[in-house]
């Protein structure tokens, strides 16, 4: 039988130690906001995930591995959440990781807060100088003895914001804003960034403003139009068309004119994300302005039809 590897010999962990020497000096220069890492996170699904992660038990040292910062499990929606919240996205190589003392420890169970020094490899998105050397705080998986996962010499993707007036100092936008890099992940992230920055990118959707079912001249004929409120004020509408004896069809129109040939967005695209990750499970009663009770019921059913067709948002964070 194979003997278990003693925790002290496990290569996947880094011995926790107080910050001292040059690292202590550099850390002392960080702004107070950087120490309040979790408090400074945007309240996105990532921030809510941090709360649920607090109940996760520590991982035995022999089981702790780089899969604890897995990139393969991130869904398209996860990447959009991170990329949209991050003013800068950077690929960097970790050079030094120092565990913080108890006074600055992570409040999340099974996580260790570390001070990371890294070397910039590439700037995937963002403007302004990030510096060749990067410094930031991160919460990483820890074993039962509180020792963080070893990341030294590993490449990571950082979804972060630049600390004002401090070149090279970053603040992650979420507890999992540091993700292990691999070529496939970078390709996916670059694709998401291209969608977000493209001219005519679909706007953020806030809610359904109005839903109206209009019956047609023939039995089984009719149409529901749903107008959506967007953050930018750009008109967006959904249309569900019914024909006698035909399966309902629906589509999305971006702009003032409702496109009669509108089609549903493809899953795994920014337009799909805007709908699938924003629309409420049921049509808000106040938004249903159809004339009769039967028309209101049909509008509600059409909204449910669209919601089912979109499928779940798919977030894993």
What does the CA dihedral 281, 233, 43, 173 come to, rounded to 10 degrees? 130
- pLDDT band at 261; cut points 50, 70, 90: confident
**Domain edges within the chain:** 9-197, 205-310
Whether the Cβ atoms of residue 68 and residue 56 lie closer than 8 Å to each other: no
Lowest pLDDT segment from 113-127, 203-217, 250-264? 250-264
Percent of the chain residues topping a pLDDT of 70: 77
- List the CATH code of the domain at 9-197: 2.40.50.120
Rounded Cα–Cα distance for residues 95 and 224 (Å): 57
**Interacting residues of 14 by C-beta distance below 8 A, sequence separation 6+:** 97, 99, 114, 147, 148, 149, 150, 151, 152
Rounded Cα–Cα distance for residues 170 and 160 (Å): 6
Rounded Cα–Cα distance for residues 302 and 240 (Å): 7
| Mean confidence (pLDDT) of the chain | 82
pLDDT of residue 259: 76
pLDDT, tens digit (0-9, with 9 covering 90-100), for 165-176: 888 999 999 988
pLDDT of residue 59: 40
Rounded Cα–Cα distance for residues 66 and 69 (Å): 6
pTM as predicted: 0.79
Letter string b/e over residues 118-155, b meaning 16 or more CB atoms within 10 A of that residue's CB: bebeeebbeeeebbeebbbbbbbbbbeebbbbbbeebb
pLDDT of residue 30: 47
């Amino acid at each position: 039988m194979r003997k278990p590897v003693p925790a002290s010999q496990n290569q996947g962990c880094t011995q926790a130690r107080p910050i001292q020497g040059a690292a202590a000096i550099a850390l002392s220069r960080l702004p107070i906001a950087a120490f309040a890492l979790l408090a400074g996170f945007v309240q996105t699904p990532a921030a809510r995930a941090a709360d649920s992660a607090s109940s996760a038990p520590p991982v035995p040292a022999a089981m702790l591995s780089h899969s604890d910062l897995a990139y393969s499990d991130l869904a398209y929606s996860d990447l959009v959440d991170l990329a949209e919240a991050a003013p800068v996205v950077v690929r960097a190589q970790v050079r030094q990781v120092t565990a913080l003392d108890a006074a600055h420890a992570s409040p999340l169970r099974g996580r260790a807060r570390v001070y990371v020094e890294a070397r910039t490899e590439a700037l995937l998105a963002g403007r302004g100088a990030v510096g060749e050397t990067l410094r930031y705080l991160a919460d990483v998986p820890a074993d039962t003895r509180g020792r963080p996962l070893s990341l030294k010499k590993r490449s990571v993707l950082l979804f972060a914001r630049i600390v004002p007036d401090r070149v090279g100092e970053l603040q992650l936008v979420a507890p999992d804003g540091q993700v292990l890099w691999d070529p496939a992940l970078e390709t996916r992230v670059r694709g998401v960034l291209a969608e977000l920055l493209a001219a005519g990118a679909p706007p953020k959707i806030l809610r359904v403003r109005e839903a109206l079912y209009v019956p047609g001249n023939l039995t089984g004929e009719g149409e529901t139009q749903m107008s959506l409120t967007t953050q930018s004020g750009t008109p967006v509408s959904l249309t569900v068309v019914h024909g006698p004896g035909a399966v309902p069809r629906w589509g999305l129109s971006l702009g003032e004119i409702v496109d009669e040939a509108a089609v549903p967005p493809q899953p795994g695209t920014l337009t799909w994300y805007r709908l699938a990750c924003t629309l409420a499970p049921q049509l808000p009663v106040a938004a249903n302005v159809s004339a009769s009770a039967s028309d209101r019921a049909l509008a509600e059913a059409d909204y449910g039809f669209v919601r089912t067709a979109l499928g779940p948002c798919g977030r894993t964070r």
